[in-house]
Structure 1
Amino acid sequence: MKRRNFIRTTGVAAAGTGLAGSITAGNFLGSTKNKLPRWKGFNLLDYFSPFKGVPNYVTTDDDLKWMADWGFDFVRLPMAYPRYVKHTPFKNITPDNVLNFDENELDKIQQLVERANKYGLHMSLNLHRAPGFCVNAGFYEPYNLWQDEEAQDAFYQHWSMWAKRFSHLSPKQISFDLVNEPCTREDMNDQFSQRGSIPGELYRAVAKKAMETIRKHNPDHLVIADGNNVGADVIPEIFDLNIGQSCRGYFPHYVSHYRASWVWKNPEDAPKPVWPGEIDGQHFSRKNLEEFYAPWIDAVKKGVGVHCGECGCYRETPHEVFLAWFGDVLDVLTQYGIGYALWNFRGDFGIMDSGRKDVEYEDWHGHKLDRKLLQLLQKYK
């Protein structure tokens, strides 16, 4: 990643948008000011990859049962839309493909939602790769969600399809997270290109239209918008809309994404993280976290619904540094009723099979369980 972009990203404050007015989900927390529930859980990566026919994560019933047994109540499903449309694998997708829904794949996703609900887990559906946009880039899109009306129309049709399919579910069972970490890019196909904020009025227009499309099928459907500028910024332009917002638990990236290949062009150049302490000439501590989350907290105090849809540390971060930092993150969020979803359950950020080299894993039904991380999460359940 270009150094100037990385430093800018690690230093930007984050904030959430609100659930202005009445919404069913706003009653879940009783006297808590946050209008969104303090959901606690994980991201599921079953549909994260855009490529069919390659090894992918598969969520098992055991996974869901363990989550529920350990006190968690939330899962988020970041989806790449090419996984559930018919097109020629490993070839550039075209506008003709984008709305060619694969009913077999749609049924599988619905079954995953139903399985999660069976174990008492709220499911958040998210378009991680939407028609015309993905924060990761690195592949061809036939248009740009933030510039082209055709892409926006396709985006709304995807959400209309999902909202109709789940029109029978309540806000306790499902929510709709519009698009993962919106941002602009100098080059839509280059994951390391300069990124910035979507103009607020443009983001408002797209989010508002998507919300209205979704609620045509069920007026109680719960809609979430990720923070602007890769999830980092408040979106005051939608404070008056009946939409919640999702923040991130990755500040500073020096800690959360140490040696991550999609952040660093040369991972070996990443400065070794500490917590608290100095990294790359900057001092970081709990005070910095409190400053970083201050806009989110201010939003909650104003009646905004906020949830942290992604958080955690890549496996290369020293485990004790991770736990010290993450304990502070969770403590700050919890004070204001903001829940969290670790990225992920099993895998590089997860509580099982993370591949960390400095963890004394516990054998758990053939998996490697990070008991210390689980205990930290349970402390804030």
Structure 2
Amino acid sequence: MERRSFIKNTGMLAAGWSLASSTAMAALPAPNANKLPKWKGFNLLDFFTPVPAGSNPNKTTEEHFRWMRDWGFDFVRIPIAYPSYLQFDRSRNITPEEIYKIDEAAVDKIDALVAMAHRYNMHVSLNLHRAPGYCINAGFHEPYNLWTDAAAQEAFYFHWNMWAKRYKQVSRKKISFDLVNEPSMRDDMNDQHSPLKAVPGPVYRKVAQAAAAAIRKENPDHLVIADGNNVGNTVITEITDLDIAQSCRGYYPHAISHYKAPWANKDPEHLPDPLWPGQVGNQYLSRDMLETYYKPWIALAANGGGVHCGECGCWNKTPHKVFIDWFGDVLDILSGGNIGFAIWNFIGDFGVLDSRRTDVAYEDWYGHKLDKQFLALLQKH
């Protein structure tokens, strides 16, 4: 198969407005008011687990970036687990003191991925998927809680200042800093399925504002992004007056996006079959519910708040047709609000390559399995 045949079709969907009067037109927000570009691309998972940087066997290569570029993508988000670039005794739980022990050789490996992305004209968003004292996923014992412990917060600011210093001279057009992945307040920070709720607004504001200050100490023009509260779902109203953009999610409803996902469901084998649209359990799932869900995000973007969908997609157990029908609505709504997106991930269970779905007619792509229908949907938006 020739790579050229898959290069993105030129042209954009034009946003049209049918208005009864010039007065009505004046009352509507400008459709392009979103202060973030409509980036689209992928999350790269080279460093998102706590294992030492470089030990993940699934590495992003120059060839992968070439495909992304040729297919019309311009953005990568790099979720990072902070332990991946530290020196400490991994035979036991990390101590608060060890969270400051930066392994320069490990950080250099992350730098190399950033540099490679820049060579292919990708905007890079660095994200702490695991920050000192918080991660949406368990599997590594945190010694404290980011939202309640001052020591965790000071370590958090230290790490962001370190990253900002390394990219002090890099334009905001090329790099941004996404503070912490999918914040929430867990009953037990180290229990994957413990009850969670939104971080109290004033607490989120305090931590985000101080982290942004630590970043902008190195370059006052650095671009800072905060993931939505309550696991990325809700606009952080408490920071809309700050110069901090926000990142939403494209996983709603979880009955579609995380069907049978063991990390997201306590009993993944006993779930109602997903439909789109249709009755799933005690809910009727439809585009209307998506419109309601994204309305606050679209309003934030329309008012110049700066919005991007930093993660989205669907795990591979959802029937492919259901996934495509649902995700087509998600992307259509985001695109209508001039909001870009990043799929989790490029190669793997959520990706356009090697997703391991059992109901897809894959096409061979240089040793990989390409979901051409999924790719075409992404290119359309």
| Alpha-carbon distance in structure 2 between the residues aligned to 1:55 and 1:35 | 35
How much does 1:54 deviate? Answer: 5.5
Deviations 1:306-358 (A, max 9, x none): 00000000000100100000000000000111000000000010000111001
Deviations 1:95-143 (A, max 9, x none): 1210100000111111111100100000000001000110112431111
Q: Does 1:177 align with 2:178?
A: yes
Which amino acid letter does the alignment assign opposite residue 325 of structure 2? A
Aligned twin of 1:33: 33
Greater shift after overlay, 227-236 or 246-255?
A: 227-236
How much does 1:90 deviate? Answer: 4.6
Matches within 5 A, 1:195-274: 195-274=196-275
Secondary structure class of the residue paired with 1:269:
coil
Deviations 1:255-294 (A, max 9, x none): 0000001011221112110111110121111111101101
Given that 2:164 and 2:219 are in contact with CA atoms closer than 8 Å, whether structure 1 keeps it comes out as yes
Which amino acid letter does the alignment assign opposite residue 187 of structure 2? E
Higher relative contact order (CA 8 A, sep 6+): 1
| Alpha-carbon distance in structure 1 between the residues aligned to 2:57 and 2:223 | 28
How much does 1:168 deviate? Answer: 1.1
| Alpha-carbon distance in structure 1 between the residues aligned to 2:223 and 2:207 | 16
| Alpha-carbon distance in structure 2 between the residues aligned to 1:66 and 1:90 | 39
| Alpha-carbon distance in structure 1 between the residues aligned to 2:156 and 2:99 | 9
Given that 1:146 and 1:152 are in contact with CA atoms closer than 8 Å, whether structure 2 keeps it comes out as yes
Secondary structure class of the residue paired with 1:127:
strand
Which amino acid letter does the alignment assign opposite residue 38 of structure 1? K
How much does 1:301 deviate? Answer: 2.3
| Alpha-carbon distance in structure 2 between the residues aligned to 1:55 and 1:81 | 15
How much does 1:31 deviate? Answer: 7.4
Q: Any unmatched runs of 5+ in structure 2?
A: 1-29
Aligned twin of 1:285: 286
Matches within 5 A, 1:1-381: 32-52=32-52, 55-380=56-381
Give the TM-score normalised by structure 2. 0.90
Q: Please report the RMSD computed on the Cα atoms of aligned residues, expressed in angstroms.
A: 1.2
How much does 1:234 deviate? Answer: 1.4
Which amino acid letter does the alignment assign opposite residue 47 of structure 2? Y
| Alpha-carbon distance in structure 1 between the residues aligned to 2:305 and 2:356 | 37
| Alpha-carbon distance in structure 2 between the residues aligned to 1:221 and 1:357 | 43
How much does 1:188 deviate? Answer: 1.2
Larger Rg: 2
Give the TM-score normalised by structure 1. 0.90
Which amino acid letter does the alignment assign opposite residue 41 of structure 2? G
Given that 2:258 and 2:314 are in contact with CA atoms closer than 8 Å, whether structure 1 keeps it comes out as yes
| Alpha-carbon distance in structure 1 between the residues aligned to 2:184 and 2:314 | 22
Greater shift after overlay, 245-254 or 228-237?
A: 228-237
Greater shift after overlay, 87-96 or 48-57?
A: 48-57
Q: Any unmatched runs of 5+ in structure 1?
A: 1-29
Which amino acid letter does the alignment assign opposite residue 247 of structure 1? C
Deviations 1:57-107 (A, max 9, x none): 211111111000000000001110000000122521111210100000111
How much does 1:41 deviate? Answer: 0.2
Which amino acid letter does the alignment assign opposite residue 233 of structure 1? T
Give the total of aligned pairs: 351
Percentage of identical aligned residues = 60
